[in-house]
Amino acid sequence: MSMRKLLGLCVIVLWTGAQPAIATRQAVLSAAVLHTQQVACPGYVASNVSNTDDGFMAELALAGPPCALYGKDIKRLTLDVRFDTKNRLHVHIKDTDGHQFQIPKDVLVLDSGHGVRNTSSNLRFDHFHDDVSGFGFRVSRGDQVIFDTVGHPLIFEDQYIEVTSNLPVDANIYGMGESPDFFRRNPANTTKTLWNRGSPDLFQQNVYGSHSIYMELRDSQFHGTYLHNSHGMDIILTNSTIQYRVLGGTADFYFFSGPSALDVIDQYTELVGRPSRIPYWALGFHNCRYGYKSVYEVNDVIANYSKANIPLEVAWTDIDYMDGTRDFTFDPVNFPLAEMQKQLAYLHARGQKMVLITDPAILYDNSSYGVYARGHEQDVFIKNADGSEFIGQVWPGYTVFPDWFARNTSSWWSGELKRYFDQLPIDGMWIDMNEAASFCTGSCGTGKPAGSIPPYPWTLDPQPPHRVINPSDTFLVPPYAIHNYEVELSDLTIETTARHANGVSEYHVHNLYGHMESKATRDFLVNYRPNQRPFILSRSTFAGSGALVSHWTGDNSASWKDLHISIASSFDFGIFGIPMVGADICGFFGNTTEELCARWIEVGAFYPFSRVHSALAYSPQEIYRWESVAEAGRRALRVRYALLPYFYTNYQRSVENGWPVARPLIFEFPHVPAVVDNDRQLLVGDGILVSPVLVEGATSVAAFFPVGIWYDWYDYSVIKGTNDIVTLSAPLEHVNVHVRGGKIVPTQEPSMTTAESRKNDFGLVVAVDEHGAATGELYVDDGETFDTAARWVQFSYAKKSLSIGQRSGQFKISPLLSKLVLLGVTGVSQVVVNGSSVNVNFKVVNGSTVITGLNIDLNVNSVVALN
């Protein structure tokens, strides 16, 4: 939730107010460009190469006079090259004396790999010397150079590192963010700024998270590159190059050989951490609003979903439930604890869940707020450079911020959460504003009375001027100005000169704040509920956060463009290793329209994380409020709930291999040039294609179908894909869904909750390809615990015979397989299961056969002959 939430007007005010700031920043950037043109940096010279069992090391010395482009040149560097695995190469260029900040190993534990000889690697490393630019290196996969710095001088200064690699003309680049954008980055003019910022989802601007991983598609194959660095940075695509401009640290690169998109993501998540296991209920439909006036209004919303026959899995409440918007409290008038407890009991009795929001900012009030008093006593808050507590401003007033590096912070945070959960044992946590966001610049509460509540800055008229910029402090104003949307790096967040308990300034670790809060929160939940999978939704993320939390894409707008971009953002987070992702359905800011909301739920029903969420001061948009939207929601969510076994199976693939649930067509069809920039359709797994309407007023959609057979989910009609566009009818309440030929998709009869759906019989949608064959799989466990038994079941179909095989596991699947939908198959009049004829019902629809009345045990191997 953003500070811009209170009023629609505030967005306009802040954007308008930012214009002089942007002009100031751009002036700094213009000077920086001029500086680059006037100064020739000498680069480095490599010497003293020493081989190791799995790589080599070398010394790098500055090759000439320092260029002092944006800081002090570091004269002595160490090059450390290691072949971590067959498919991963680690290239680390660091200062030999070890003074530059690096991400602590306990903040993000990286997989080191077992190490292989260079002759066993799919990647090759070569270094060169150029008389003009000095040291350069190339990373190759076979005969293809995938990263090439030769001809571009390495610049390594205390507050600026520049590494440039050549790219093909019109390269296909994906990833780098978080930044709302089209999925394929513009190779001629893209700047991705990594500096976590609590803000509305401004198109192509830096927002909540920092992920430097990118993938490139070249000659129908993918490879990837990740820079392990927590500093602010720009990653720039222009002139057939990718250039990193980083505000400190080291040049710590990892390269992934692919060759498929899923291979790259597998290799990346092996390094930074596999996605966490989620509870099954997280795949249900969620509802939230910022602005519910009372617990009784939320009760009405819950009841209205039921009356409208729309499945509601989880009821969320924003900061409205808090007493004075203070963490771990309940408004005694509008959200009294006793009534919240009744609501939770009501939900649990019906198989539903509750999630509430928590912010990291703690009200600065030692006299009446025990959360602050206990934290102050244990010395857990971030400090100013002079040792006083850093005091910003967030919802409750002047606030302090937990220092996740301090010795006592995790135990204090766990203690406060335990008090909270002991009162109201909610089902999951929503951690917001954790970039960390503040409403002011600097320690604006210093010297102010504790417990005093200032007005929100955006309510002031006239707006207060920005503080005087202090370029003499290069941690406040670095010599190189990254393209952060604000004037200063410290604007609307923790001051970059603030100090952590380990002596490190916020400048170095700003981008890690949300990730570290995620870790502390997850640690609490795992200990508080042993062996129960936690569900945590975080706004701010970093590399590896997928091992801790899920994510929503923040404060979007009720616009058709944001609907479109939400699909691309979901694809981005698939690359980032956070597959459980979705956008606020119907938009957060602004008044949605009936048509937009209908079209959005038709997309949002297929996000991995599916939640409607809207802002205070705008019209409510629960999807039962318009009959057309309610009907669109019922239809689309019925498909989602039928596909829950398929979603869950794909999510287990995420857990094991990192693979995304929501995928672009290019991941499955890398040899088809027409889909390199297709972010208007989405695949769920590799077998379900969703082609939504993203244009106002449209009643048809131009959908691309790769070569193959595709079956309409609803009426089983066939499209023979020819790598071309097909125009599909799409009335307002209908979203086009197709099953890919060659795939077997497990289903269950949908109910109003995931718990009820899990009890229903299974079905299989067998979509045969042009050869009359199909394959698929099903993963099942208890959906709740870590140490659950599990079962993988494999399906294969050919020549009118379906084989059901047990791949692994001992979990007992209770529901039977009762239904087969044989897409593209006719002429079946008899079903024989393991040699015995069974009495079933047949129905032929559009060249396909529906068989019901089966009673097949999925825990044993079976052969189903369809004669």
- Does 8 have pLDDT greater than 70? no
Average pLDDT score over residue span 451-473: 93
In this prediction, residue 149 carries a pLDDT of 98
In this prediction, residue 503 carries a pLDDT of 97
Q: Are 798 and 833 within one domain?
A: yes
Domain annotation covers residue 261 = yes
Predicted confidence band at 172 (pLDDT cuts at 50, 70, 90)? very high
Q: What is the pLDDT of residues 830-842, one digit of tens each?
A: 999 999 999 999 9
DSSP string over 289-324: -TT---HHHHHHHHHHHHHTT----EEEE-GGGSST
Structure tokens at 264: 């790259």
Q: Are 810 and 833 within one domain?
A: yes
Structure tokens at 543: 């590399």
Catalytic residue among 162, 216, 320, 435: 435
Place of tokens 């008389």: 131
Beta bridge pairs of residue 667: none
Distance CA(518)–CA(521), nearest Å, equals 5
Distance CA(433)–CA(392), nearest Å, equals 13
Predicted confidence band at 34 (pLDDT cuts at 50, 70, 90)? very low
**C-beta atoms surrounding 130 within 10 Å:** 15
Q: Are 781 and 812 within one domain?
A: yes
Catalytic residue among 162, 555, 595, 602: 555
Beta bridge pairs of residue 160: 157
Beta bridge pairs of residue 746: 764
Beta bridge pairs of residue 56: 51, 81
Q: Are 80 and 210 within one domain?
A: yes
Q: Are 140 and 189 within one domain?
A: yes
> Angle of helix 409-423 relative to helix 370-378, nearest 10 degrees?
160
Q: Are 159 and 222 within one domain?
A: yes
Average pLDDT score over residue span 82-104: 98
Q: What is the pLDDT of residues 173-218, one digit of tens each?
A: 999 999 999 999 999 999 999 999 998 989 999 999 999 999 999 9
Give the 3-state secondary structure of residue 720: strand
In this prediction, residue 20 carries a pLDDT of 34
Mean of pLDDT over the chain: 95
- Does 26 have pLDDT greater than 70? no
Structure tokens at 610: 């599916």
Distance CA(429)–CA(442), nearest Å, equals 29
Burial of 345 (0-12, 13-18, 19+ CB in 10 A): exposed
Which of 230, 249, 272 lies at the terminal end of a domain, its last residue?
Answer: 272
Domain annotation covers residue 443 = no
**C-beta atoms surrounding 374 within 10 Å:** 16
Contact between residue 554 and residue 569 where contact means Cβ atoms under 8 Å apart: no
- Give the chain's radius of gyration (CA, Å): 28
Domain annotation covers residue 536 = no
Contact between residue 582 and residue 610 where contact means Cβ atoms under 8 Å apart: yes
Distance CA(794)–CA(792), nearest Å, equals 7
Catalytic residue among 157, 327, 432, 506: 432
Q: Are 720 and 758 within one domain?
A: no
Is 263 noted as a catalytic residue in this protein? no
In this prediction, residue 415 carries a pLDDT of 98
Average pLDDT score over residue span 255-283: 98
Average pLDDT score over residue span 394-399: 98
- Does 40 have pLDDT greater than 90? no
Q: What is the pLDDT of residues 398-425, one digit of tens each?
A: 999 999 999 999 999 999 999 999 999 9
109: containing domain: 39-272
Distance CA(787)–CA(785), nearest Å, equals 6
Contact between residue 569 and residue 583 where contact means Cβ atoms under 8 Å apart: yes
Domain annotation covers residue 572 = no
Is 432 noted as a catalytic residue in this protein? yes
Give all strands (DSSP E) within 407-543, no chain letters.
428-431, 536-538
In this prediction, residue 492 carries a pLDDT of 97
Pick the closest to residue 624 from 615, 634, 614 (CA basis): 634
> Angle of helix 594-604 relative to helix 627-642, nearest 10 degrees?
0
The alpha carbon of residue 274 and the mean position of all alpha carbons in its chain are separated, in whole angstroms, by 13
Beta bridge pairs of residue 52: 55
- Does 12 have pLDDT greater than 80? no
Pairing mode of beta strands 211-218, 172-177: antiparallel
Alpha helices in 707-862 (DSSP H): 754-757
Q: Are 700 and 759 within one domain?
A: no
Q: Are 222 and 258 within one domain?
A: yes
In this prediction, residue 552 carries a pLDDT of 98
Q: What is the pLDDT of residues 753-804, one digit of tens each?
A: 999 999 999 999 999 999 999 999 999 999 999 999 999 999 999 999 999 9
Is 219 noted as a catalytic residue in this protein? no
Q: How many domains are there within the chain?
A: 3
Average pLDDT score over residue span 675-695: 98
Q: Are 52 and 125 within one domain?
A: yes
Pairing mode of beta strands 584-585, 610-612: parallel
Pick the closest to residue 284 from 651, 663, 817, 660 (CA basis): 651
Structure tokens at 139: 């990373």
Q: What is the pLDDT of residues 297-318, one digit of tens each?
A: 999 999 999 999 999 999 999 9
Q: What is the pLDDT of residues 586-642, one digit of tens each?
A: 999 999 999 999 999 999 999 999 999 999 999 999 999 999 999 999 999 999 999
Distance CA(743)–CA(774), nearest Å, equals 5
List b or e across 664-688, with b for residues whose CB sees 16 or more CB atoms inside 10 angstroms. Answer: bbbbbbbebeebbbbbbbbbbbbbb
Burial of 154 (0-12, 13-18, 19+ CB in 10 A): buried
Which of 683, 713, 738 lies at the terminal end of a domain, its last residue?
Answer: 738
Domain annotation covers residue 82 = yes
Domain annotation covers residue 444 = no
In this prediction, residue 467 carries a pLDDT of 95
Q: What are phi and psi of 82, to 5 degrees?
A: -140, 135
Which of 228, 255, 272 lies at the terminal end of a domain, its last residue?
Answer: 272
Structure tokens at 418: 């335990």
Domain annotation covers residue 280 = no
Give the 3-state secondary structure of residue 601: helix
In this prediction, residue 38 carries a pLDDT of 55
> Angle of helix 513-528 relative to helix 409-423, nearest 10 degrees?
50
Q: Are 192 and 45 within one domain?
A: yes
Pick the closest to residue 578 from 196, 103, 209, 89 (CA basis): 209
The span from the first CA to the last CA of the chain, in angstroms, equals: 58
In this prediction, residue 103 carries a pLDDT of 98
Alpha helices in 331-463 (DSSP H): 337-349, 370-378, 409-423
DSSP assigned state of 457: G
**At 171, which CATH number?**
2.60.40.1760
Distance CA(410)–CA(403), nearest Å, equals 9
The alpha carbon of residue 580 and the mean position of all alpha carbons in its chain are separated, in whole angstroms, by 7
Q: Which helix (H) or strand (E) holds 21?
A: helix 8-38
Q: Are 688 and 765 within one domain?
A: no
Domain annotation covers residue 204 = yes
Q: What is the pLDDT of residues 51-91, one digit of tens each?
A: 999 999 999 999 999 999 999 999 999 999 999 999 999 99
In this prediction, residue 13 carries a pLDDT of 24
**At 708, which CATH number?**
2.60.40.1180
In this prediction, residue 60 carries a pLDDT of 98
